[in-house]
Structure 1
Amino acid sequence: MEVARVLRLDLLIKLSLAVFLGGIIGFERELSGKPAGLRTNILICLGAALLMDVSNRIGLVDGQRIGDPARIAAQVVSGVGFLGAGTIMQGQGVVTGLTSAATIWVVAAIGLTVGGGFYIEALGAGLLVTFVLAALGRLEIYVRRLRRRVTATIRTRTGTPPDELETALRAHGLVIENQRVFDHPEDRTFELKLAGPSRQFDVAAGELMRRDFILGVSFD
């Protein structure tokens, strides 16, 4: 009876900690307006902790380990991958949902850690994840303001090799993320998706127009 009471108390502690850690991470996601918010993260963390605890108990008979508790944990990791994949979307060359997918994965990992009885490790990981999502998210926004993505249309002389244009752009810190080339009788036109420091686009445009093989440059 005493053993059963201790086991029930241990399980209650695990589930409560899983709800708390999933909740603080989910609260941040909810504030950010993400689809995988408060309830989703709590349920994932709670479910992972419960399955890990059950896995540990199933593998014990009279105090002796007869099974591998990692088997159920491995299935949790595989299963949560499908949930994460459902949050990733792609449209018009833009991929969204990667952070939400990563959050789902790490919340499941925290739940498994709680279920395994590693409370301090789980608490530390939960606080770190919350810090990364909340604080570094603002830093990411600041970095994006320093770096732009634009569509460029560049007309060159017929037969201009793409490598020559890429070299000229890289000299100003601009990276070609995607390109299409159209050959016409009078010129060759490049439609480029460029990324780079905001201040460099105007500088690059002026520099390109001084090149003999460039006929026109426009940024959208």
Structure 2
Amino acid sequence: MIEWTTVVTRIAVAALCGGLVGMERERKEWTAGLRTHMMVCVGSCLAMMVSTYGFEDVRGVEHVSLDPSRVAAQVVSGIGFIGAGTILFLRNEIIRGLTTAAGLWTVSAVGLAAGGGMYFAAFLTTITILFILLGLKPLQKLFFTKHHQQVIKIKAEAGPAVLDQLQQVLTDQGVTISYLSTERKSKEVIIYLKIKTLASGQEMFGLIRQIQTSPLVKDVVWHENG
């Protein structure tokens, strides 16, 4: 049987690795943040230990054949339901949460590695995940156009006037629209915009304030694309 000190070590490693990734997602104010990533990683770690050591008492019984990888394999496929819950289809091509969903899936694998005693692999993968989440984002913004965009969601009273006012504000601010769609809901209209990222956050806040000055606009939400 596995020693209790080994159990503590593996659970602690899983909690640490999951927590490091979760803190990055928490910083971005995602629903799946610190606690979710830690729970997934620790749960995967326990599943791996159960898969490997949980059936020792029947392993030697005649006609009993066990595959230690079966429980762990179910973790890899089963974690998808949590990842799917983090993906938001805002409108057509505007999707958020793919990176967080992929992170949860990868964190489950980190937990399996910790549960299997592969500490170096667990820590190395965690460091790689953090590099992907933190280190690659500036490079994406530098080399890929789509990461120079912001998504703005505007809820307003239905009618052509709101689009005219919005167009005027964007023109005055020198903002170029790369994508626009509207969704009619009763007496309201929801407008989705993709625009090129402005030079500073202050300029972006200024644009939002200008949009909110319209009496037809009820709510404005914006976030960075990708």
- Where on the TM-score scale, by shorter chain, does this alignment land: which range? 0.5 to 0.7
% identical equivalent positions: 37
In structure 2, what is the equivalent of residue 42 of structure 1? 38
In structure 1, what is the equivalent of residue 175 of structure 2? none
* 2:59–2:65 CA contact under 8 A, matched in 1: no
Structure 1 letter corresponding to 2:71: I
Q: Compare CA radii of gyration and give the structure with the larger one.
A: 1
* 1:25–1:41 CA contact under 8 A, matched in 2: yes
TM-score w.r.t. structure 2 length?
0.59
State the shift of 1:146 in Å.
7.3
For structure 2, the 5+ residue unaligned runs are: 150-178, 180-226
From the superposition, tell whether residues 147 and 68 of structure 1 become closer, same or farther in structure 2 (CA, over 3 Å): closer
Is 1:68 paired with 2:64?
Answer: no
3-state DSSP of counterpart to 2:89: strand
* 2:140–2:147 CA contact under 8 A, matched in 1: no
State the shift of 1:26 in Å.
0.6
Summarize the alignment of residues 9-158 of structure 1 with structure 2, pairs less than 5 Å apart.
Answer: 9-61=5-57, 66-93=65-92, 94-145=94-145
CA distance in 2, matches of 1:137, 1:43: 26
State the shift of 1:25 in Å.
0.6
From the superposition, tell whether residues 43 and 147 of structure 1 become closer, same or farther in structure 2 (CA, over 3 Å): closer
CA distance in 2, matches of 1:136, 1:147: 11
State the shift of 1:66 in Å.
4.6
Higher deviation after alignment, 120-129 or 90-99: 90-99
* 1:76–1:108 CA contact under 8 A, matched in 2: yes
CA distance in 2, matches of 1:85, 1:146: 23
In structure 2, what is the equivalent of residue 160 of structure 1? none
* 1:60–1:67 CA contact under 8 A, matched in 2: no
3-state DSSP of counterpart to 2:79: helix
Structure 1 letter corresponding to 2:118: F
State the shift of 1:67 in Å.
1.4
* 1:59–1:66 CA contact under 8 A, matched in 2: no
State the shift of 1:91 in Å.
2.2
CA distance in 2, matches of 1:26, 1:9: 25
TM-score w.r.t. structure 1 length?
0.61
> What per-residue deviation string (whole Å, max 9, x for no partner) do you get for residues 169-192 of structure 1?
xxxxxxxx9xxxxxxxxxxxxxxx
Query: Aligned Cα RMSD in Å?
Result: 3.1
> What per-residue deviation string (whole Å, max 9, x for no partner) do you get for residues 55-80 of structure 1?
11124348869511111112111221
3-state DSSP of counterpart to 1:117: coil
Once superposed, which parts of structure 1, at least 4 consecutive aligned residues long, lie more than 4 Å away? 61-66, 144-149
> What per-residue deviation string (whole Å, max 9, x for no partner) do you get for residues 90-133 of structure 1?
12221111001000000001001111111111110111111111
Structure 2 letter corresponding to 1:89: L
For structure 1, the 5+ residue unaligned runs are: 150-176, 178-220
3-state DSSP of counterpart to 1:95: strand
Count of residues in correspondence between the two structures: 153
From the superposition, tell whether residues 53 and 143 of structure 1 become closer, same or farther in structure 2 (CA, over 3 Å): same
State the shift of 1:89 in Å.
1.6
State the shift of 1:21 in Å.
0.3
CA distance in 2, matches of 1:27, 1:78: 24
